[in-house]
Amino acid sequence: MSQAARPILTPLLALAAGPAAWAAQLIAGYGASSLACFPHDAPAPTPPGPGEHVGLAALNLVCLAVAVAGLATAFMVWRSARPDRFAEHNDQAPASAGREQFLGACGMLSGAIFCVAILFDTAAIFGAPACWSGLG
């Protein structure tokens, strides 16, 4: 697909992948932890086993992979829209090149920030107790 014919959907998806992956990780992780700690109306009498940590780590790694894929896509969008790329071939940059370069740069920034956020959340899985009821 040529630069002029590329839809706006690719840069927008690259921009949204990191925040969407972090939000999915946060919501699903809190839901899974809550279900493990409070299976009914009262807290669980014993803390959950190691299976919960493995499940949450797997969820975080899948979300991290989505955020990294968005970061890589944003980098490719940014790189393909650079003005010097068109100067090498004596082509004129399409009108959308500036927009795509901006969206690619914003996607790289947000992707990197949300990758770090997901990594911090992943470290917290193993560093914090699963349920407060297991502390006593």
- pLDDT one-digit tens code per residue, 70-118: 999 999 999 888 766 655 555 665 666 788 889 999 999 999 999 999 9
pLDDT-above-70 percentage for the chain: 79
What is the spatial distance between Cα 57 and Cα 65, in angstroms, rounded to a whole number? 12
* 3 within a domain of the structure (yes/no): no
Q: How far is CA 75 from the centre of its chain?
A: 14
Look over the chain and give the mean of its residue pLDDT values, rounded to a whole number. Answer: 82
Find which of 3-7, 63-67, 100-104 is predicted with most confidence, using mean pLDDT. Answer: 63-67
Contact 47, 130 (CB under 8 A): yes
| The total number of structural domains that make up the chain | 1
What is the spatial distance between Cα 92 and Cα 3, in angstroms, rounded to a whole number? 11
* 15 within a domain of the structure (yes/no): yes
At residue 94, the pLDDT reads: 64
* 4 within a domain of the structure (yes/no): no
Give the lowest-confidence range in 3-12, 25-34, 61-70, 96-105: 3-12
* 35 within a domain of the structure (yes/no): yes
Q: What is the pTM of this model?
A: 0.80
At residue 22, the pLDDT reads: 97
- Banded model confidence at residue 133, pLDDT cuts 50, 70, 90: very low
- pLDDT one-digit tens code per residue, 33-50: 888 777 777 777 776 776
**Token pair for 106:** 């914003």
Q: Which residues contact 104 (CB under 8 A, 6 or more apart)?
A: 11, 14, 74, 75, 76, 77, 78, 79, 81
Question: What residues make up the domain containing 106?
Answer: 10-135
* 1 within a domain of the structure (yes/no): no
